[in-house]
Amino acid sequence: MFVRVQKEDFSLKLVEERFSEYTKLQGAKIGAIVTFTGLVREFQHTSEDQEEVQALILEHYPGMTESVLEQIAQTAIKKWQLNDMLIIHRVGTLFPTDNIVLVAAASAHRQDAFDACQYAMDILKTSAPFWKKEQTNKGERWVDAKSSDYNAAGQWITQDLQEN
């Protein structure tokens, strides 16, 4: 498990390095790697009067963010018997095309890695204490939470309840 909150950029190379390290220790057990990268778009909104994003300021709750991300990774590793999981989230000032978040899961079979990555993103979006403030051509504003994100996260909870 590898979890980090950082100002610095990251690259997918980290995923290859991290999981090939796993393979050196554990043997060729990884059959599937799924990665998710979230990036800053110029236009975050789909409404008619689109505001062009000039920068995104990412604030977080130091200490709590790391422990929530670790909790997410631990839960995912157990739930899908992953080989390994990696989560990196950036904070500070970001610009369009910049990376924001990286989630990667390694498993024997592909469905587990896909599900684990989606789970991690859905839970991260609604539970990890990060907040985005947009600087647009019309001023600054805090990004509102999306109900679609809460619906996505809620599905996993509903699923867990049905399984128990």
Partner 1 sequence: MITVLFFAKYRELLGTEQLQLEAESFSSVRDIAQHLSQQGSEWHSIFEQANTMVAVNQKMAKLDSPIQDGDELAFFPPVTGG
Site residues (CB under 8 A) for partner 1?
38, 58-61, 63-65, 67, 89, 100-101, 121, 124-133, 142-145, 149
The interface partner of residue 42, options being partner 1, its own copies, none and the CB cut-off 5 to 8 Å by kind, is its own copies
102, β-bridge pairs: 37, 88
Q: Is 156 in the site for its own copies (CB under 8 A)?
A: no
Q: Write the CB contacts of 80 (distance below 8 Å, at least 6 apart in sequence).
A: 105, 107, 112, 113, 115, 116, 119
Pick the binder of its own copies from 36, 70, 75, 126 (CB under 8 A): 36
Rule CB under 8 A: choose which of 111, 127, 155, 159 binds its own copies.
111
Residue 131 near residue 60 (C-beta atoms within 8 A): yes
The partner in contact with residue 156, picked from partner 1, its own copies, none with C-beta cut-offs of 5 to 8 angstroms by kind, is none
72 binds its own copies (CB under 8 A): no
Edge-to-edge strands, sheet with 92-94? 92-94, 53-60, 130-136, 139-142
Per DSSP, which regions of 40-159 are E strands? 53-60, 84-90, 92-94, 99-107, 130-136, 139-142
Per-residue DSSP letter, 96: T
Write down the least CB distance from residue 59 to partner 1, Å. 5
User: Which positions lie near its own copies, rule CB under 8 A?
Assistant: 11-13, 15-16, 20, 23, 27-44, 96-97, 108, 110-111, 113-114, 117-118, 121, 152
